[in-house]
Amino acid sequence: MTEAARVRIGWRDLPEAVRSRAEEIIGDGRVVTADSQAGGFSPGTADRVVTDSGRRAFVKAVTPAINERSAELARQEMHITAAIPGHAPVPRMLGGFDDGEWVVLVLEDIDGTHPRTPWVESEIDAAVTALAELAAAVTPSPVPGVPSAFDAISGDFAGWSNLAADPPADLDPWIAGHLPGLRAAAERGLAALATGETLVHCDIRADNLLIRPDGRVVVIDWPWGCVGPAWLDRLLLGIDVLTKGGDPARVFEGIDPGVVTDVIAGVAGMFEHVCRLPPPPGIPTVRAFQRSGAEALRPWLREHL
């Protein structure tokens, strides 16, 4: 969700048999260069690779031996990405495999860079345009077997309830005094997610977007895809603008202001709760990101709740 965990493995850490099978999917020779990418929190590979014939691809690979949950998410991402129609602003999937020990995705290598943060207005506008194009392309959802947004997020939006049950000593005093209202807002936000038939990305942030040289935005990394209201991805973009810097007003246009407040309350509660948990195996930096998100959203909640 922010800077890379910087503990991920790379292309050259993969077993030879796994590399060879990925090269067969890419086609036209052996991989001669591999550039590991920053961003995200998976401990698996995220490499832009080039073969000796000049063919390019993006390879993601992870093993349950490093992090079992990351392997599960890679399987889900493979299932989702393979079913998204080609006209959506999403990288094409060239192939992939799951041999029980390694889950490998071979994707189109997008020529682009992540949006700048703090966010700038032109790139916010480009991201909003891309999300509108995406929603049009994946409504109704073309992917079978993915959860509803309500089911996918319900546990996350219980953060305030978890904190109320056992308040930590370092809980912000304003939060401690407003837990009932925050809890009620998160419950309303969750209820608002029980509608819609759009495939939503559900993890929109700067490092899950790429800006092409022509200014168009592509939405990458799809392990959290679910079915919900078309506005959800745009609201999550607004939260990323809030937490990283920038004006989210353009992003929130057209979304019920009460829903915006309630969903942000749910996300903030998730951040406040999970940032205090031990880090998952192989992903040591995720808690610092979640803590920074919690700190960034507190002033907004004080003003809008």
Write down the domain spans for the chain: 11-107, 121-304
What pLDDT does residue 152 have?
Answer: 97
What pLDDT does residue 285 have?
Answer: 83
What pLDDT does residue 43 have?
Answer: 87
How many whole angstroms separate alpha carbon 129 and alpha carbon 251?
10
How many whole angstroms separate alpha carbon 243 and alpha carbon 300?
10
What pLDDT does residue 4 have?
Answer: 38
Q: Write b or e for each residue in 223-232: b if 16 or more Cβ atoms lie within 10 A of its Cβ, otherwise e.
A: bbbbbbbbbb
What pLDDT does residue 148 have?
Answer: 98
How many whole angstroms separate alpha carbon 253 and alpha carbon 262?
16
Whole-angstrom CA distances from 7 to 37, 114, 264, 284 are 11, 20, 30, 8
What pLDDT does residue 39 have?
Answer: 67
pLDDT tens-digit series, residues 34-62: 999 876 777 899 999 999 999 999 999 99
Name the phi and psi angles at 253, rounded to 5: -55, 130
3-state secondary structure of 142: coil
What pLDDT does residue 70 have?
Answer: 93
Assigned fold of 11-107: Phosphorylase Kinase; domain 1 (3.30.200)
Pair 264, 300: CB distance under 8 Å: yes
How many whole angstroms separate alpha carbon 212 and alpha carbon 136?
20
What pLDDT does residue 222 have?
Answer: 97
Q: Do domains 11-107 and 121-304 have the same CATH topology?
A: no
How is residue 235 written in tokens?
Answer: 């609201």
How is residue 203 written in tokens?
Answer: 């993890």
Whole-angstrom CA distances from 230 to 71, 252, 261 are 28, 13, 17
How many whole angstroms separate alpha carbon 41 and alpha carbon 31?
25
Assigned fold of 121-304: Aminoglycoside 3'-phosphotransferase; Chain: A, domain 2 (3.90.1200)
Residues of the chain falling short of pLDDT 70: 1-7, 39
What pLDDT does residue 1 have?
Answer: 29
What pLDDT does residue 28 have?
Answer: 86
pLDDT tens-digit series, residues 254-266: 999 999 999 999 9
pTM of the prediction? 0.93
How is residue 209 written in tokens?
Answer: 């977007």
